Every structure is written in structure tokens, then in C-alpha cells.
Structure 1
Amino acid sequence: MAALRRLTQARRSPSERTALAGEASADAAERALRAHAPLPQEPEEEAELPDHPQAAAFFDCDNTILQGAAVFYLGVGLYRRKFFSRRDVARFAWQQAWFRLAGTEDPAHIADAQHTALSLVAGKRTADLEAICEEIFEEIVTAKVWPGTRALVQMHLDAGQRVWLVTAAPQEVARIIARRLGMTGALGTVAEAEDGVYTGRLVGEMLHGPAKAAAVRALARREQLDLGHCAAYSDSANDIPMLSLVGHPFVINPDGALRKYARAQGWRVQDFRTGRKAARVGIPAAVLLGAAAGAALAGIALRRRRN
């Protein structure tokens, strides 16, 4: 990480910061994976997904896995622990309402959340924030995860594939959500720390848009994944770079721009917010059968939730 810190402190172009954010996130994800050393997933006999040893799945978080934004839930939890003022919470609430109603992310809101978060954690111990995040997301993951997407995550795990969360949320939050869902690991935004204390700076930039694609590419290189056999799931047009990297892109709860782009590309669309059926176009038969099985599980989960 020393080399990464030196690169962060230097003046870098946007493309260099994007690449640095991706490498830092992949590095953090691999270190966490080695530290926890999870047991390999055993595939079930009836798994429908293609059996390929270099296949994996990548899931966006906000509005793809979680109903709403992880950073908002983190903000509310930190406010309850006296990290924020009422004014800060009012601003976060407006940003969350925008995200839920507009179905898209506002870059100004993202930048504002980044600035506030970094200023608040500067000087605090990483272990303390990780413990707080564990408390905050213990109930959030249970209450706010889309049942349909949870079923898709489990489908890939049951097929013996590695499954990764990819999010602009801090890596500490990303790891907790991924662990709660039984995922292999997580790629998230890396906040710089020295001797276990946050400096108030990022390593590169937020893991957003092209930076997510850079992180997935970096992790694929390290884990020897074949992106042509991998799948990716997202709700946002900001993640088109990540979705375009893999052989099997899937669109979940899409914003308007991504829905339009997905239709033009022939990508499969599933909307768990309205119960609309997926658009079954342009997907290889084996993957289509696997995704259909996941959608069926999702439908059962949704009906149970309504009852």
C-alpha cells in the first residue's frame, strides 16, 4: 500500500486516478479474501449456469441489491452515533429521496457525500469504523435487500461461481454486505489510512462509473477470471463500462438511460420494483435458463414477502 499512497499524493490525471482506484479496490478485496479464507462453494447438481472454472458474477449494490443507497443508511447510522448534525442528515435524506424517485444518481450528490464522509472519518481508527458499520448493516441487509436479486446471487453461488459486490460505498461497508449475502468478496471505495487511522483522502477516486470497470478488470487479472464467461448486474447507466466488460450483462431495476441502452444492446432486463417480466433477448440459452430459474425463485420470494 505504500506505493499506492505515494501515487495518491501525487498529481494524477482523471484516467490515472480511475486506474488507481480500481487497483486499490482489487488489492483490498484480495487481502480481505486471504484474511477470511472462505471455504469453496460446492455447486449443486441442478445449477443451470454454464460450468466454467473462470466464471464469476459482479453485482452493483445501490438499487440493484439494496433498496436505496448504502451510503444513506451509513449516514443515518453514523448520525445516531453523533457523527453527523441534523443538517447533514436532512441533506442526505434529500439525496436519498432523489435517488429513489428519479431512479438515477446525481454526480453532485455523490461528490457531496464523498466530501462529507472523508471529513468525518479523518483521524478516526479504521477498526472503530468497521465495528460501527457491522452494527449498522446487520439489520439493513436483512430488511433492504431485494429478494429477487438475492435469489440471483444465490443462483451463481449454487453454480460454484465466485460472486463479487462492486460498489462506490466504502470498502468497509461493501465487505459487510457481501459477507451477509454469502458472496465471495467485495470491491468498494478505498479510503487512505496510515497506521490504522484514516487520513481523510481517497486512494485514487470513488469506485464509480469507469472506476468500477477498472476494479473488475484488475480483480479478473489477479483471480485469473475470463470476463467473457462472467456476468454483471446493475441498475445504472453509470455502470455501462462494467456491464460492457463481461460476456453476460444483466440489467436490474434500471434507470431510464440504462433501460434504453439495454434494449438497444439486447441485454436482459429484470425489474423487481414492478414485477415486469424480463426481456428475453440476445442471451445464450444456457445462461437464459439459469437466469429464468433465478427469476422464478425471485418471484416466489416476492410473493412470500407480500403475504
Structure 2
Amino acid sequence: MQAFLKGAGAIGTKATREKTAPGTSGENKKQKPIPWVEKYRPKCVAEIAFQEEVVAVLKKTIEGADLPNLLFYGPPGTGKTSTILAAARELFGPELYRKRVLELNASDERGIQVVREKVKTFAKLAVAGSRLDGKPAPPFKIIILDEADSMTNAAQAALRRTMERESKTTRFCLICNYISRIIEPLTSRCSKFRFKPLTDRIQEERLRDICAKENVQCNNETINMLIDVSEGDLRKAITYLQCAARLTGGKDITEQVIVEISGAVPSDLIDGLLAACHSSSFEKLEIVVKEVDKCLVDGADEYLQMIALSAVMMQQFTQSS
């Protein structure tokens, strides 16, 4: 009987070894495909590009200084969410990250009930645990509210009081595109950082790096077209690049492919519309375009600004005809 059990044990051990042996089918399984936007998201603060002010503040925080409540605002795709996520990973490490960080994004409700339940409950939790690597863990938690400008005024007002009560153990990071939609009591309690649209050079470096790692063939004209249609939004540029790579198999991605994927209006068409006005009206229209661009940067509604610009263009065409 003992010999039988030993034999069975040996067989079981052998089967286990065969299952766990390196080079078996379990390890050879292909990894699940990850969107390139997530795959190449910055993993640490040092990898954040073109946002020197906020990077300097976060580096000081990681070195041991306290972290204030933060308000990140600016155009989409400039690294707002990536920056605070990278900083949180460096502050807490992988073992404490899930316990110390609460992220609420666009898929969550933004009413006052969310502030009363999810935010308040998480903010009241005690700060416990330590990092396994021996580094000191900050004595606070981080609540990230992405697209905070979509929150109702009542929810923002309730959040203001929560920020005051839980200031000893919780830090808030509000992320939005338009700071004008955040109530003044919240903005006054946060350190504000404006994220600038990425320069063409920064976007070109990132896109070429991704092309090299993914074995994608893009010429200079295609890269320039990606930069042009993305308008400073690196996330949009990377998404278009991945779609084009899937469509063409990663070979010979042309400008026409990018235009078809993005649905962008060619710049020469816009130039033609502007040139259709006579010289005096053209100068006036150019001024209006600059004013509209400034309003958008300051946080105005895109739809209303587009209507205003279209109305001016219609007026100019009527006068010139």
C-alpha cells in the first residue's frame, strides 16, 4: 500500500513538474493585446514630457516633501492622468497602490451621492501598511477625480467640505479640461497646474519611438500628418497610429490612411475658406480665429465657439458676394 501511495505521489509530482516546467504551453501563451496608449503610458514621473513645473513639484514630493491638493487642467491627451498615476505608483509602490489610491473616471456617476458615499468612505479609512521595499510610505491617501468639470455644482460643494475634514490623511487630485467649470472654493484649495499642448518635437519623438518598438513603417510625411490631426493630443496620435498599423499590417502607412482614419479636414481646405474672403475681411476673420482659439484655451465651450466662428464666416461670405 505504501509503495502504491509513493508511486502515486511520484506520478503526481511528475505531472506537476510537467505542468510547471519552463517552456510549456502555459508560459508560451501570448500576452493579451494592450492598447498602445496604455502600453506606453509613462511609468514614472521622470518619463513625463514637456510639463516641467508639475514634474518638479512631484519630484520634491517623492523625495519627502508633503503633497498639496492638486488641480490639473488643460487640453486632453497632454498627460494629466498619466502624471498623477505615475506619481502615485512611485509614492506607494505596487503593494500599497490599490489600497491608497481611489480613481473615479468618466464612467462613474458625478452627482452628490458619489461624494457622500465613495469619496467620503474612502477618505475616512485609516492609513495603514508599509512598503515591502523598505522605503517610507507617505501618511496619506490620494483620491483622483478625473473629468471633475463634469461634476454638478452640488457635488463640488460637498467635496469642498470633505477636503477640509480629511486634510490630514487624504490628498485630492482634480483633473479637468476647463478650469472655469470648477467652483472657486475648490480651486482655492488646490495647487493649480496647466498642462500645455505637447510640441511637435515631443510628439514626433514619442511616435517614432513607438514605431521602432512596434516595427511600424512611417515616413516623415505620415508622422507630420499624425501630429497635425492630433493637435497636441498625444493620446489621439497614438490611437490613430495603432489603428493605421492594424489596417495596413504596420507597413507603408501613408498620409491618406491617417486622413481616412481620423476624419480630419485637410488644412488646405481651411486655408481655401479663409482665402475666399477679400483681404480686409480675411484679416478680420483671422483675428476672430485667434480670439476663438484663446477662448477655447481659457475653457469656453467648443460647440458655442464653433457656432460663433461659423456665423462670422457666413457674414464675411455674404458681404464679399
Fold shared per TM-score above 0.5: no
Q: Which gives a bigger RCO, structure 1 or 2 (Cα 8 Å, sep 6+)? A: 1
Bigger strand fraction: 1
TM interval, short-chain normalised? under 0.3
Bigger helix fraction: 2
